[in-house]
């Protein structure tokens, strides 16, 4: 690698969700700002093949962008490694990328992946300034109330506290960004006595360019008199897929006949058989129930249509301390949310008036919210100004500018 030594290295070997979108925002921003130093991306070799063609700016070289990748042997080892071995391998790949490029500034786009190795001697010897994004930070307030004062809750908190403390042994780590989470940033700065180290980062709203949006009749044969509830994204028990199924199954026939529950996204392979069997049982017992399943990755180009064609987006996640890009999609297309009251998700829904929150993530609570949606011929939100404020405050350019500011300052 013979790259410009004054550039910034972005490290991310994940291909899913936030990761691909964040890289898109970084590349787009750099292509519009030639005055910035080069952006070099050490990323998964399948990124170009997996991302839509429009994710990559034309003339990458001429726009101050470089893409570099681990070699085939390294990727083979990563794909077959356990969590600790995977972290060790990622650190070695990152170390080699820094050494061969001669760069002295690096943003790790998923610090969680390297949390257990950055505090090691090898991690602390990385010869550059480090920043990074930490997903779903764990603090005392994120422990479920029923565990908060239990031995299990205390042990869980202590383990996470020590893992973070271990990573913070790396004094090259100058800024840790938390998506949408100002309160956790303040709390962690106090806990570890590192003022300004943890910093909130606006989770950017991903806007698909109009010229790339594909339109199709997504709901051929659907009864449009029903209120359509959408559960979107990678579908698993932690995203509430079983909870939503149990909720809709408990609805009285006259209410169930007014609801259509739509699951759009790939179902977790380990849970697919159990989930589909559950859907069959519910439909056979409750003929008035309408459930639609789209069990595959939803192309970015069709995301606008899925949201626009829905009446409400449900996010009955069992873990609510992390941010979710679904909030941005819902706000962008003026669709109300039904989600948890607790955690970061609940805080965002209440702060921006994005919909209804549930006191607890339970089928009875969700069924009650579904009932309110079905029988009330009115929106779950006020005047939609909160949604527009959310979109404005989470523009991608703001995300990039916040992310690169500490690295640009270190010149």
**Do 8-204+395-409 and 210-393 come out as alike in CATH topology?**
yes
| Distances in whole angstroms, Cα of residue 228 to Cα of each of 2, 138, 316, 341, 365 | 53, 34, 16, 22, 18
pLDDT-based confidence at residue 219 (cuts at 50, 70, 90): low
pLDDT per residue as tens digits for the range 340-377:
998 889 999 999 999 999 988 899 999 999 999 988 76
Look at residues 376, 313, 368 and name the one whose alpha carbon lies nearest to residue 345.
Answer: 313
Per-residue pLDDT of 41-68, as tens digits, reads 999 999 988 888 888 877 776 779 999 9
> What does the longest C-alpha to C-alpha distance in the chain come to?
68
pTM, two decimals, is 0.90
Q: What's the chain's average pLDDT?
A: 90
Distance of CA 66 to the CA centre of its chain: 25
Query: Fold for domain 210-393?
Result: Rossmann fold (3.40.50)
Q: What is the pLDDT of residue 2?
A: 42
Q: What is the DSSP letter of 235?
A: B
Q: Confidence band (pLDDT; 50, 70, 90) for 152?
A: confident
Each domain of the chain, given as residue ranges in start order, spans: 8-204+395-409, 210-393
Which one-letter DSSP state was computed for residue 376? -
Beta bridge partner(s), residue 262: 230, 292
Q: Is 232 exposed, middle or buried (0-12, 13-18, 19+ CB in 10 A)?
A: buried
Distance from C-alpha of 298 to C-alpha of 303, rounded to nearest angstrom:
7
Quickly state the pLDDT bin for 156 (edges 50, 70, 90). Answer: confident
Task: Identify the pLDDT of residue 265.
Answer: 94
- Give me the CATH code for the 8-204+395-409 domain, please: 3.40.50
């Amino acid at each position: 690698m013979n790259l410009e030594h004054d550039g910034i290295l972005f490290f991310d070997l994940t291909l899913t969700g936030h990761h691909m979108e964040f890289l898109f925002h970084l590349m787009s921003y750099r292509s519009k700002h030639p005055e910035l130093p080069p952006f070099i991306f050490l990323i998964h070799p399948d990124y170009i093949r997996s991302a839509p063609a429009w994710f990559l700016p034309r003339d990458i070289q001429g726009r101050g962008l470089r893409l570099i990748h681990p070699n085939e042997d390294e990727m083979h080892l990563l794909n077959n490694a356990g969590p600790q071995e995977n972290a060790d391998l990622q650190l070695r790949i990152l170390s080699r990328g820094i050494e061969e490029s001669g760069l002295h500034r690096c943003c790790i786009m998923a610090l969680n992946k390297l949390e257990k190795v950055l505090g090691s001697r090898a991690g602390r010897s990385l010869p550059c300034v480090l920043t990074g994004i930490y997903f779903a930070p764990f603090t005392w307030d994120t422990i479920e109330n029923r565990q908060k004062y239990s031995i299990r809750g205390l042990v869980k908190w202590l383990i996470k506290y020590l893992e973070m403390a271990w990573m913070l042994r790396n004094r090259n780590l100058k800024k840790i960004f938390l998506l949408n989470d100002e309160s956790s940033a303040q709390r962690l700065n106090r806990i570890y006595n590192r003022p300004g180290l943890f910093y909130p980062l606006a989770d950017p709203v991903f806007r698909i360019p109009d010229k790339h949006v594909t339109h199709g009749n997504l709901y051929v044969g659907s009864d449009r008199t029903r209120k359509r509830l959408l559960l979107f994204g990678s579908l698993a028990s932690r995203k509430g897929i079983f909870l939503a199924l149990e909720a809709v199954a408990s609805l009285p026939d006259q209410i169930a006949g007014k609801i259509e529950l739509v699951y759009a996204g790939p179902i977790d392979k380990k849970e697919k058989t159990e989930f589909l069997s559950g859907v069959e049982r519910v439909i056979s017992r409750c003929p008035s129930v309408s459930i639609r399943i789209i069990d595959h990755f939803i192309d970015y180009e069709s995301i606008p249509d899925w949201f626009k064609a829905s009446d409400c987006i449900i996010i009955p996640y069992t873990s609510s301390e992390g941010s979710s890009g679904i909030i941005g999609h819902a706000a962008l297309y003026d669709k109300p949310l039904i989600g948890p009251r607790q955690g970061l998700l609940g805080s965002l829904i209440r702060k921006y008036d994005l919909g209804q929150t549930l006191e607890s993530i339970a089928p009875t609570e969700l069924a009650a919210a579904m009932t309110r949606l079905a029988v009330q011929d009115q929106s779950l939100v006020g005047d939609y100004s909160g949604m527009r404020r959310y979109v404005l405050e989470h523009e991608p350019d703001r995300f990039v500018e916040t992310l690169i500011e500490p690295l640009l300052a270190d010149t």
